Amino acid sequence: MTRSDARARAFTAYPELNLVLEHLLAGAQAALADNFVGAYLQGSFAVGDYTPYSDCDFIVVTHEDLTPGQLAALQALHKEIHRLPAPYWRNGLEGSYAPAAILRRWSTEPRDPPGAPRAEDWGDPGMSGAPPLAYPFWYLDHGSDTLVRSEHDNSQVVRWCLREKGVVLAGPDPATLVDPVSPAALKAEVRRTMDLCLAVGLEPMHLVAWQAFWVGLFCRILHTMETGTVTSKKAAMTWAEAVLDPRWSGLIAHARALRKGHESAGA
């Protein structure tokens, strides 16, 4: 199947997104050749409760980190994707190219790519300028057409979603690529995420869509801290309304209504 083939496989419920994913998959396989291991969806398209306005989170697994030639080919691919006739989904991809050995389990070693040490004042472009902690994958942010080094997807949450719920675009079962993630590891990580979110000031709070986002994110963090699993923001908000102090019910209900309004407006 070529990248221009309109008969894209039904990876998701959205035909335009499937065409974008087919283009991504064929382009990544061509650019990586023998370095390609597999391609997967994680995030809401794996865990559930995706909407027509969700990010489409992907992980492409490689045997080794990208060579300069492979990186150049993938940079060209993502610029090409931004010219596809799919106005939302060509900008809706978010994901990383992850070396298999690094992806298997989270670790702070090795921290830096070979020959590319990061200074302590390095600010992660995909994590609000956070300092270096673990290996940075080549990462595509939502709406971007350029891969950058970021630890955004080098997380326990991404590993859990990929291993337990990942959607296979091509390649082996993701459970063979990622070791089990313990509840304790998930809980510790999301607690650190909460602290990081508070440290950056929950911006831009003046936008109502972001207010709903932060409420949903914190409900999901609390759900993971309680259960040691990962669920969708929608499911986490339903859970939070049932178990948290009733004084939070109005805020959560308002955030849910904002999310539903956004989904209805795009329907």
Model confidence pLDDT, tens digit, residues 12-32: 999 999 999 999 999 999 999
Structure tokens belonging to residue 231: 């669920």
Instruction: Give me the pLDDT at residue 260, please.
Output: 66
| Domain boundary residue, one of 118, 150, 179 | 179
CB-side neighbour CA atoms (13 Å) of 17: 22
| Strand 93-99, strand 56-62: pairing | parallel
Residues 148 and 236 in one domain: no
The whole-chain average pLDDT of the chain stands at 92
Confidence of residue 126 (pLDDT cuts 50, 70, 90): very high
Give yes or no: residues 154 and 37 share one domain.
Answer: yes
Mean pLDDT in residue range 198-226? 85
**In a shared domain, residues 170 and 56:** yes
- Of 163, 179, 195, the residue at which a domain comes to its end is 179
Q: Are residues 165 and 94 in the same domain?
A: yes
How much is the pLDDT for 259? 74
Q: Say how many domains are in the chain.
A: 2
| pLDDT above 80 for 157 | yes
Q: What value does the mean pLDDT take over residues 146-174?
A: 98
Q: Which of 256, 100, 145, 126 is nearest to 200 (CA)?
A: 126
Q: In the prediction, which pLDDT does 53 show?
A: 84
Do residues 170 and 194 both lie within one domain?
no
Section 135-159 average pLDDT: 98
Contact 102, 112 (CB under 8 A): no
- Which pLDDT does position 203 carry in this prediction? 67
Q: What is the pLDDT of residues 45-74, one digit of tens each?
A: 999 999 888 999 999 999 999 999 999 999
Cα 261-237-95 angle, rounded to 5 deg? 80
What is the domain extent for residue 64? 15-179
pLDDT at 264 over 60: no
**Is residue 2 in some structural domain?**
no
Q: Is residue 4 assigned to a domain?
A: no
Quick one: 146 and 19 in the same domain? yes
What token pair was written down for 71? 């990186």
Q: Are residues 169 and 219 in the same domain?
A: no
DSSP result, 186-250: HHHHHHHHHHHHHHTTS--TTSHHHHHHHHHHHHHHHHHHHHSS---HHHHHHHHHHHS-GGGHH
The SS3 assignment for 157 reads: helix
pLDDT at 267 over 60: no
Predicted confidence band at 7 (pLDDT cuts at 50, 70, 90)?
Answer: low
**Does 264 or 146 have the greater pLDDT score?**
146
pLDDT of residue 5: 47
Cα 9 from Cα 21, distance rounded (Å):
9
